[in-house]
Structure 1
Amino acid sequence: MDLEWMLKFLQGMIKPLLATAVVLMAVLLSYFQKLGLECEMIYSILRAFLQLSVIGFVLQFIFSRDRSVWIFLAYLFMVSVAGYTAGQRAKHVPRGKYVAGVSILAGTAVTMFLLVVLNVFPFTPRYIIPVAGMMVGNSMTVTGVTMKRLRDDIKMQLNLVETALALGATPRQATFQQVKRALVIALSPVLDNAKTVGLIALPGAMTGLIMGGASPLEAIQLQIVVMNMLIGASTLSSIVSTYLCWPAFFTPAYQLETKVFSSN
């Protein structure tokens, strides 16, 4: 049975390999336009090909076992990678990787818990792992942008924040506008995507279902659920990240930690 599945997998990879022709076109365009992106394009597509192939085998193994422990292991792995990636974006935020990881974990775990309790999705690897992956990926992007933007805004307005602190404001009060701006900027793409979903492009989950043979009406039902959970998880993760950043930005005496804002 495993050998038969492997054979089907190899046969199914013919079309993805043929589709690399469009990457070749992009590489040639980059070469003739002297963009210098040829090596990066080739590396990116090879890495994506390898990663997705490995993940395919891993998911096949997990789905065949259908045990809850694999859900938690896969979820923690995704959160760890996402936290590291988001922390790299906000590399000047102290303990940024841990802040991002905890924020992503909090936002996605609460959202996933509500979906399971409300019986929107059954608690099985086939449903939970793909859904968790979408939430974690979206929360990773939003959290990284929030942390970086908050730190950069405070740095640009140090005098304003210090003046507010000198007048007796708490760190939250002194940085309220910077936090608000960071959250708005980070969440705007998610909200804009929700506003235009289906009008400009069909989202991935909906497209996959339709191409898999599901009716468009069934596809939009799932896509609505997906959009709701992405907004919920992203909003919660980004807000949690701002609360976790504050201890690193201020001293116990409610003064700005200048060394955090000294680097570019």
Structure 2
Amino acid sequence: MNPLTVNNLSLFLAFALVLIAVVISAKEKLNLSKDIFFSILRAIVQLIIVGYLLKYIFQVDNNLLTLGMSLFIVLNAAWNAHKRNPARNKKYIHSLAAIFISTSITLGVLILSGAIKFVPSQIVPITGMIASNSMIAIGLCYRGLNTQFHDLRQQTLEKLALGASIKLASKPLLQQSIKTAMQPTIDSAKTVGLVSLPGMMSGLIFAGLDPVHAIKYQIMVTFMLLSATSLGSIIAGYFAYKNYFNSDHQLTL
């Protein structure tokens, strides 16, 4: 099988598809044209820089450099998750702990089981996949928690007035927020292969790998993402709900 090739003409024609979104935005007065062009420009610059950086890291094949790149991914994912938290008293360390723990545990199990090897060409991309999905789940958990506290403020106050601890008063809100955070990953797992052919599986098939072997890798990725999103959202949620209370255990919105 010939490897997939993308030339400048292919990129130009693919960029023409972006113009469809721009036209729709202009016609419907969505005011998204500037954001679309900015996001495209940023993506191009970031991908070019990362592409050359990964090429260097793969060639050097140094364990410390691999760990450094993986840590950079985790730190950046944690910062983006932190920014998505609407809570007033949010703390970056909470997002960092959630993503670091979920990524480390998932990655550690994969390495110890022999599913992947500790080489940069495998560790760095897998770390990116785990951290990015955990970041999205944590962001959804944060938003869900904020919405729940505002919508169910009176019920929470009543529970506190009756002597409930902040953990007990917040438990139903926390459970719903974690469920909301995990739902996209669960829905994706339900439809994988039937509706979508995910990136790793498609990439391996493009590279010429037997589809059956590509499916095994995709099953591993599905397990991996379910683990990371569940761990990340649970850890972040149990940290974040405390941000809505002061030192006297009073609800502050």
With normalisation by structure 2, the TM-score equals: 0.91
Tell me the distance in 1 between the aligned counterparts of 2:232 and 2:218. Answer: 21
Gaps of 5+ in 2: 1-5
Residue 164 (structure 1) aligned to one of 152, 159, 166: 159
Confirm whether residue 144 of structure 1 aligns to residue 144 of structure 2: no
Which letter does structure 2 place at the counterpart of 1:135?
I
In structure 2, what is the equivalent of residue 256 of structure 1? 250
Structure number with higher relative contact order (C-alpha < 8 Å, ≥ 6 residues apart): 2
Tell me the distance in 2 between the aligned counterparts of 1:203 and 1:244. Answer: 32
Tell me the distance in 1 between the aligned counterparts of 2:9 and 2:208. Answer: 21
Q: Judge which range, 242-251 or 55-64, deviates more.
A: 242-251
Confirm whether residue 50 of structure 1 aligns to residue 45 of structure 2: yes
Alignment check: 8 A CA contact 1:90 1:96 kept: no
TM-fit CA distance, 1:185: 0.9
What secondary structure is seen at the aligned counterpart in 2 of 1:20? helix
**How many residue pairs are counted as aligned between the two chains?**
248
Which letter does structure 2 place at the counterpart of 1:212?
A
- What is the percentage of aligned positions where both structures have the same residue? 33
With normalisation by structure 1, the TM-score equals: 0.87
What secondary structure is seen at the aligned counterpart in 2 of 1:175? helix
What secondary structure is seen at the aligned counterpart in 1 of 2:30? coil
Confirm whether residue 65 of structure 1 aligns to residue 60 of structure 2: yes
Tell me the distance in 1 between the aligned counterparts of 2:135 and 2:223. Answer: 17
Alignment check: 8 A CA contact 1:183 1:238 kept: yes
Q: In the TM superposition, what are the counterparts of 1:31-46 in structure 2 within 5 Å?
A: 31-46=26-41
In structure 2, what is the equivalent of residue 204 of structure 1? 199
TM-fit CA distance, 1:192: 0.5
Alignment check: 8 A CA contact 2:87 2:243 kept: no
In structure 2, what is the equivalent of residue 77 of structure 1? 72
Tell me the distance in 2 between the aligned counterparts of 1:30 and 1:140. Answer: 28
Residue 189 (structure 2) aligned to one of 187, 194, 201: 194
Residues 54-112 of structure 1 show CA distances to partners (whole Å, capped at 9, x for unaligned) of 11001001000111112221122112211121111113242343321211111111111
In structure 1, what is the equivalent of residue 96 of structure 2? 101
Moved over 4 A (4+): 11-14
Confirm whether residue 240 of structure 1 aligns to residue 253 of structure 2: no
When the two chains are superposed, the root-mean-square deviation of aligned CA atoms in Å is 1.8
Residue 225 (structure 1) aligned to one of 213, 220, 243: 220
TM-fit CA distance, 1:158: 2.3
Confirm whether residue 90 of structure 1 aligns to residue 94 of structure 2: no
Q: In the TM superposition, what are the counterparts of 1:13-32 in structure 2 within 5 Å?
A: 13-32=8-27
Tell me the distance in 1 between the aligned counterparts of 2:241 and 2:85. Answer: 14
Residue 113 (structure 1) aligned to one of 105, 108, 112: 108
Residues 120-176 of structure 1 show CA distances to partners (whole Å, capped at 9, x for unaligned) of 111111101101101100000110111221132123222222222232322221111
Tell me the distance in 1 between the aligned counterparts of 2:53 and 2:8. Answer: 17
In structure 1, what is the equivalent of residue 170 of structure 2? 175
Q: 1:66 to 1:14 in 2, by over 3 A?
A: farther
Alignment check: 8 A CA contact 1:93 1:245 kept: no
Q: 1:109 to 1:13 in 2, by over 3 A?
A: farther
Q: 1:79 to 1:206 in 2, by over 3 A?
A: same
